[in-house]
Structure 1
């Protein structure tokens, strides 16, 4: 089934060329189907790129999905036009009386700051508290995952000596869990971050289940015991070239940055990297939509 997104959204043209099944509002309302309503809080600086990445993964499902985008009111991104935000994005004030079947909270380039020093932290905590009653299931990515672990479960992040960037092997630790049903016992996923959370603290926390981890990259995939919150410390939504673009950006800034691990063929940054995590990403998003959103959300919110 298709994703229902605004007709003028720039990501539409790219996704249509990939044969992603998209639907416009006019056609969606003509079908006697209750779509899944998904809210995406996009905290990434390059918002249009993140829109495309997430919409692509949400498309791989037999369910009809309707998507709203939200940005923070207390901080306005410098890498996206105001017209794009005003046309396609809402703020928390716009949605706080609404209910959503699912929500995605992205990463953000603020991980080296203490949570309380992030200029939209108070607004984000209001949103995280609101999800407890107004959203069926929340998927948190990278810094969004660290923020959720800290706010909901008191698990703090800590700085790494060097940026963790590259493609890492992860092992499945709870193979019977629905979220990772069908995934390989060992799979690849990208990471791009300067901070981490304690593997032992996650593993022993009474309210959190550790589903997948890496010897090099630590905990990747976690879920709350009540199955309400899913946390992914990596960027399984990334496209093949995203880490390369970040690497070139960091080099251009003069940062002392290492080449992403196991990413470029033969560690040659002149060669085009391959996407070796796509199937696992599609499966993870499909499982989340099916088992934790569609099968858990009420048909009509009270």
Structure 2
């Protein structure tokens, strides 16, 4: 089944061109199926790009999925037109009465700030608590993952001496996990962050399991079975050119930045980078959505009740 998103959303035409099956409201109703309700709390400044990246992976599932776009109410992004937000987004306060089978919380460009210094931190704390009663399974990404694991377990983030930036080899630490079905023993994932969570801090917390890890950049994916949460620090959702765009943006701004490691062919930024993580990105999201489908309640109102 395809993903259901508004047919006027810019991501719609992009996904159609890529061969991702999308559907309109009329077709979705005719199928007489309860679609999985997936919410995307989009904290990224370029919201349109993130919408495409996430919808591409969610839409590859054979299940019918309805994607709802959500934003924090206490922050106005500078890089997304107000018209786009009004047309396609609801604030969290506007959706807090709803139940979601799955909920994605993205990264945000506030990584080097203390959590308490983020202007919308109080709202984020309420959102994290809300996911325990209104969401069946939560996927927290990059800063969203660090913030969530700090909120729930007090695991601190640590500033890196230099930015972890490039495509790095990762290891499958728990092949038996339902989220790693079909994964190779090792694989490559894009990394772009100034901070890290340390394995020794995570292993002190009962119930947290490290699923993916890199020798160079450390922890990547953590599972919390009791809370039905995943925390992923790196960017399987990235486009082939995402790291290049970040690199050239910083070069143009005069910011100190090194070439992303293991990315440009022959370390030549004039050459087009190859995507070596796409298949595992689809595997991870497909496994996550399949696990939601297998375990969520048919009655959405029972989500979060323990029924």
TM over 0.5: yes
SS across alignment from 1:295: helix
| Equivalent pair of 2:35/2:66 in contact (CA under 8 Å) | yes
SS across alignment from 2:62: coil
CA deviation profile, 1:68-110 (whole Å, cap 9, x unmatched): 0011111010000000000000001111111000000000010
Residue 127 (structure 1) aligned with residue 101 (structure 2) = no
CA deviation profile, 1:22-65 (whole Å, cap 9, x unmatched): 00111111211110000000000110000000000001211000
Tell me by how many angstroms 1:225 deviates. Answer: 3.0
What is the total number of aligned residue pairs between the two structures?
Answer: 301
Matches for 1:244-283 after TM superposition, within 5 Å: 244-283=244-283
Matches for 1:179-198 after TM superposition, within 5 Å: 179-198=179-198
Tell me by how many angstroms 1:149 deviates. Answer: 0.9
CA deviation profile, 1:245-269 (whole Å, cap 9, x unmatched): 0001111111111100100001111
| Equivalent pair of 1:38/1:67 in contact (CA under 8 Å) | yes
CA deviation profile, 1:203-260 (whole Å, cap 9, x unmatched): 3321211001001010001011325110100011000000000001111111111100
Which deviates further from its counterpart, 237-246 or 146-155?
Answer: 146-155
| Equivalent pair of 2:220/2:233 in contact (CA under 8 Å) | yes
Matches for 1:128-277 after TM superposition, within 5 Å: 128-226=128-226, 228-277=228-277
Matches for 1:59-74 after TM superposition, within 5 Å: 59-74=59-74
Q: Distance in 2 between matches of 1:188 and 1:235?
A: 10
Q: Distance in 2 between matches of 1:129 and 1:241?
A: 35
SS across alignment from 2:255: coil
Q: Distance in 1 between matches of 2:93 and 2:30?
A: 29
Q: Distance in 2 between matches of 1:227 and 1:176?
A: 19
| Equivalent pair of 1:140/1:229 in contact (CA under 8 Å) | yes
| Equivalent pair of 1:166/1:263 in contact (CA under 8 Å) | yes
Structure 2: 5+ residue runs without aligned partners? 303-307
Q: Distance in 1 between matches of 2:224 and 2:36?
A: 22
Q: Distance in 1 between matches of 2:254 and 2:125?
A: 34
| Equivalent pair of 1:5/1:22 in contact (CA under 8 Å) | yes
| Equivalent pair of 2:99/2:135 in contact (CA under 8 Å) | yes
SS across alignment from 2:30: coil
| Equivalent pair of 2:132/2:227 in contact (CA under 8 Å) | no
| Equivalent pair of 2:167/2:189 in contact (CA under 8 Å) | yes
Q: TM-score, normalised by structure 1?
A: 0.98
Q: Distance in 1 between matches of 2:188 and 2:54?
A: 18
SS across alignment from 1:213: strand
For 2:3, the equivalent position in structure 1 comes to 3
CA deviation profile, 1:126-158 (whole Å, cap 9, x unmatched): 010000010000001100110111011110101
| Equivalent pair of 2:53/2:238 in contact (CA under 8 Å) | yes
Residue 28 (structure 1) aligned with residue 38 (structure 2) = no
For 1:299, the equivalent position in structure 2 comes to 298
Q: TM-score, normalised by structure 2?
A: 0.97
| Equivalent pair of 1:37/1:65 in contact (CA under 8 Å) | yes
